[in-house]
Structure 1
Amino acid sequence: MVLRENRIFYLDELRVIAILCVIFAHTIQNFPVNMDYLTSPTLLSYLTVARMGVVLFFMISGALLIGKEYNLSDFLKRRVTRIVIPTIFWQIIGYLSILVFIGFTYDGLVQAITQFGFPWFVCAILGIYLVIPIFNSFIKEYGMRGAEYFLIMWVFLIILTNMQLDETYYINLIFNNIGKYIGYAVLGYYLANKEFNIYSLPMVVFCSVLFIISLALNSYYAFNFSHVFYVESYSIIIQCALLFLIFRYMDKLTKFRPKFVLSRVHSFVQNSFVGSIIYYISIFSFTIYLMHGFVVNALIQYLPVTQFSMIPTMFLLISIGSIIIAAILYKIPIINKICGIH
Structure 2
Amino acid sequence: MTNASKRIFYFDALRAFAILCVVLLHVTGHLGEMMSYDIHTIYSFSGFYETFANNFFRIGVDLFLMLSGALLLGRDWDIKGFLSKRIPRIVKPFVFWSAVFTVLLVAASYFIPSVGFVKSFGIMGILRVFWNTLMCKAPGSAVYWFFWMMLGVYLTMPIFNKWIKHAELSELEYFLAIWVITTLFDYTLMIECPVKLSYFISPMGLVVLGYYLRYTERKVFNSRWISWILILLPSIAMLAYSYMVVGTSILFEFHRYSILVIIVAIGVFCLFKTSTALNSIPKSAKGIITSISICSYGMYLIHSQMIMVVRKILHLSFNFTIDYLILFLTGFVLSWIIIYILAKMPILDEFIGVK
Q: TM-score range by the shorter chain?
A: 0.7 to 0.9
Assess, with a 3 A threshold, how the Cα gap between structure 1 residues 184 and 129 changes in structure 2: closer, same or farther: same
Question: Which secondary structure does the structure 2 equivalent of 1:34 belong to?
Answer: helix
Q: Does 1:238 align with 2:263?
A: yes
Task: Determine the structure 1 residue equivalent to 2:155.
Answer: 130
Q: In structure 2, what is the equivalent of residue 327 of structure 1?
A: 340
Question: For each residue in 1:61-117, what CA deviation from the matched residue of structure 2 results, as whole angstroms up to 9, or x when unmatched?
Answer: 010011111121000111111011110111111212223235243134324543255
Letter in 1 for 2:293: S
1:97 partner letter: L
- Quote the RMSD (CA, aligned, Å): 2.6
Counterpart among 271, 292, 296 of residue 285 in structure 1: 296
The alpha-carbon distance between structure 1 residues 149 and 42, as it changes in their structure 2 partners (threshold 3 A), is same
What is the alpha-carbon distance in structure 1 between the residues aligned to residue 193 and residue 25 of structure 2?
33
Map 1:18-167 to 2 at 5 A: 18-31=18-31, 33-36=33-36, 39=42, 40-100=47-107, 101=110, 102=118, 103-111=121-129, 113-114=131-132, 115-116=138-139, 117=141, 119-161=144-186, 162-165=188-191
What does the per-residue CA deviation read over 1:235-290, in whole Å, with 9 as the maximum and x for residues that have no partner? 1110000110001011xxx4xxxxxxx4xxx3231x51000001100000000000
| Partner SS for 2:35 | coil
AA aligned opposite 2:106: L
**Partner in structure 1 of residue 202 of structure 2:** 180
Specify whether residues 68 and 304 from structure 1 end up closer, same or farther in structure 2 by C-alpha distance, changes over 3 A only: same
Q: Is the 8 A contact 1:29 1:37 kept in 2?
A: no
**1:214 equivalent in alignment to 2:227:** no
Post-superposition Cα deviations, 1:187-210, rounded to whole Å, max 9, x if no partner, equal 11111110124796xx11231244
Instruction: After TM superposition, list the pairs within 5 Å mapping 1:203-282 onto structure 2.
Output: 203-224=223-244, 229-250=254-275, 254=276, 262=277, 266-269=278-281, 271-282=282-293
Aligned ranges for residues 313-324 of structure 1 at < 5 Å? 313-318=325-330, 319-324=332-337
Residues of 2 paired with 1:33 and 1:157: CA distance? 31
Relative to 1, partners in 2 of residues 1:276 and 1:82: Cα closer, same or farther, differing over 3 Å? same
Amino acid at match of 2:349: N
Structure 2 counterpart SS, 1:336 = coil
Secondary structure at the residue paired with 2:256?
Answer: coil
Report the alpha carbon displacement of residue 212 of structure 1 after superposing the two structures with TM.
2.4
- Inter-partner Cα distance in structure 1 for 2:94 and 2:129: 19
* Aligned counterpart, 1:257: none
Equivalent-residue separation in structure 2 for 1:336 and 1:326 (angstroms): 9
Is the partner of 2:346 in helix, strand or coil? coil
Mapped to 2, the partners of 1:165 and 1:43 lie a distance apart of 26
* Cα drift, residue 311 of structure 1: 4.9
CA gap of 1:332–1:233, structure 2 versus 1, over 3 A, is same
Identity %: 29
Distance 1:297 1:167, change over 3 A: closer
Alpha-carbon spacing, 1:268–1:104, altered in 2? closer, same or farther (3 Å): farther
Question: Cα distance 1:70–1:5, how it changes in 2: closer, same or farther (>3 A)?
Answer: same
User: TM-score, normalising length from structure 1?
Assistant: 0.85
Q: Is contact 2:25–2:58 with CA below 8 Å preserved after alignment?
A: yes
How many residues matched? 322
Report the alpha carbon displacement of residue 312 of structure 1 after superposing the two structures with TM.
Answer: 4.0
- In the other structure, the counterpart of 1:310 is 322
Higher mean displacement: 144-153 or 10-19: 144-153
What SS does structure 2 have at the residue aligned with 1:139? helix
